[in-house]
């Protein structure tokens, strides 16, 4: 969103445009925060990453996806490179500055080092299994 330029009026800035732009920016930020909250609450396992599981766009995302896929369960993902508003606001929402971010049952688990360490210790799979029950066979 472009912030309107200030207009000069007899040597004084006209603040209405700035106030309106800031109000709009606040509304957009709140909408994004609601979107992030909905994504996290609607998906028992979700990862915010650079790229996709099939084509991660950074080594940290690739390593994290490898660990998560090793758990053998379905999960949701958001490509933050394709969603710049989420990329800009998720660190504020999560109070966690880096990507990827793995969330399980609404709780931030962590980034690459934490997730891969948990996987190596056998701690990640039970968490994912509990969050994503086995799918019932189709009859």
What CA–CA distance (Å, rounded) separates 85 from 130?
A: 31
The single-letter DSSP state of residue 119 is H
CATH number of 14-131: 3.40.30.10
pLDDT tens figures, 107-117: 999 999 999 99
pLDDT at 48: 97
How far apart, in whole angstroms, are the C-alpha atoms of residue 41 and residue 36?
9
Question: What residues are paired with 49 via a beta bridge?
Answer: 79
pTM: 0.78
- Per-residue model confidence as pLDDT tens digits over 118-134: 999 999 999 999 999 87
Residue 15 has pLDDT above 60, yes or no: no
Helix (H, G, I), strand (E, B) or coil at 121: coil
Tokens 């490179």 belong to: 81
Indicate the pairing of strand 76-79 with strand 45-49: parallel
pLDDT tens for 34-54 read 999 999 999 999 999 999 999
Rounded mean pLDDT, 22-30: 60
């Amino acid at each position: 969103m472009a912030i309107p330029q200030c207009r000069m009026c007899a040597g004084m800035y006209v603040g209405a445009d700035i106030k309106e732009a800031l109000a709009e920016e606040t509304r957009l930020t709140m909408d994004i925060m609601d979107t992030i909250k909905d994504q996290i609450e609607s998906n028992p396992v979700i990862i915010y990453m650079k790229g996709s599981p099939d084509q991660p766009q950074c080594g940290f995302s690739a390593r994290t996806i490898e660990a998560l896929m090793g758990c053998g369960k379905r999960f949701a993902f958001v490509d933050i490179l394709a969603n710049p508003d989420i990329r800009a606001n998720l660190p504020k929402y999560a109070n966690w500055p880096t990507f990827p971010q793995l969330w399980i049952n609404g709780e931030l688990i962590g980034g690459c080092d934490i997730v891969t360490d948990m996987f190596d210790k056998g701690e990640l799979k039970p968490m994912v299994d509990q969050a994503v029950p086995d799918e019932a066979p189709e009859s």
